[in-house]
Amino acid sequence: MKMKRLLRTLMQGQLSKAAKLYVEESHQLAAWNHLESQIPDEVLDEFFELYSAATECMIDHATGDMKEIFSAVK
């Protein structure tokens, strides 16, 4: 339990670092899905707007994967 508290302390405010370490392992996916399920829709909408501000995202509806195409927004 002490290790979990230590890891949480180290990761606090560090979601961007967690995102960089994401390699689609099942425990990582479960953690991201859990976090997303706890976030209100309004906050998720704002996040996705900010996240895609300089890009256009295309979604492969067969797989659900997102492909980013960088726009010429300056």
Domain boundaries, the chain: 40-74
Residues 6+ apart with CB under 8 A from 52: 68
Residue 20 has pLDDT above 70, yes or no: yes
The string of pLDDT tens digits covering residues 21-62 is 889 999 999 999 999 999 999 999 998 888 877 666 666 666
Rounded to an integer, what distance in angstroms lies between the CA atom of residue 5 and that of residue 68? 35
**Residue that is written with structure tokens 């994401």 in the block:** 22
Give the distance from CA 63 to its chain's centroid. Answer: 17
